[in-house]
Structure 1
Amino acid sequence: MLTVAVYIALGSLTLALTLCLIRLMRGPDPADRVLAFDTLYINTIALLIVLDIYLSTSIFFEAAVLIALTGFVATASLARFLARGKVME
């Protein structure tokens, strides 16, 4: 029963990643692209956690934590750049 749930989760996350990539490429303005990037890295984290559960390892969890840290910093920097025009003052 767990494998069926994992396959459904993997399919759903793959669809979500595909839709986020489309929005990232076709976004009408930069704010939409930043939001798509934010959603993309969150979906990637979820995909890695599901793979970690399926394969019963812990290496994907560590990779998910690293992606979460770098993704947060990148999203905050991009949002600040869009709001003010520069990242550092």
Structure 2
Amino acid sequence: MIEIAIVVALHVIGLAMLLSLWRLLRGPTAPDRILALDTLYVSTIAQLILFGMYLNTEIYFEAALVIAMLGFFGTVVLSKYVIRRDIVE
């Protein structure tokens, strides 16, 4: 029963990723695109964790942790660039 719930959740998160990708490509402003990219990071992390639960392996949890760290750093850098038009102070 839990496997069915994980598969359904994988499909729902996949749909959320497609919608985030659509907003990333179509977004009218730069902050919209940054928010869509951040949402795509979070969806990717959820997808990897669910896939790791489905396969009962721990390697996907480690990959999700790396993506979480890189996603946070990327969002901060992009937001700083949009606000100040300069990354390095």
2:86 counterpart SS class: coil
Does residue 40 of the first structure (1) align with residue 43 of the second (2)?
Answer: no
Map 1:1-89 → 2, pairs under 5 A: 1-89=1-89
Segments of structure 2 that go 5 or more residues without pairing to the other structure are none
- Name the aligned partner's letter for residue 60 of structure 1: Y
Residues in 2 aligned to 1:88 and 1:40: alpha-carbon distance in whole angstroms: 25
Offset at residue 7 of structure 1 (A): 1.2
Per-residue CA deviation, residues 28-64 of structure 1 (Å, 9 max, x unaligned), is 0000000000000100000000001000000000000
- Name the aligned partner's letter for residue 25 of structure 1: L
* TM-score, scaled relative to structure 2: 0.98
Identity of aligned residues (%): 47
Residues in 1 aligned to 2:14 and 2:43: alpha-carbon distance in whole angstroms: 9
Offset at residue 78 of structure 1 (A): 0.3
**Root mean square deviation of aligned Cα:** 0.5
Offset at residue 4 of structure 1 (A): 1.2
How many residue pairs get aligned? The number is 89
- Name the aligned partner's letter for residue 27 of structure 2: G
Higher deviation after alignment, 1-10 or 34-43 = 1-10
Residues in 2 aligned to 1:48 and 1:58: alpha-carbon distance in whole angstroms: 10
Segments of structure 1 that go 5 or more residues without pairing to the other structure are none
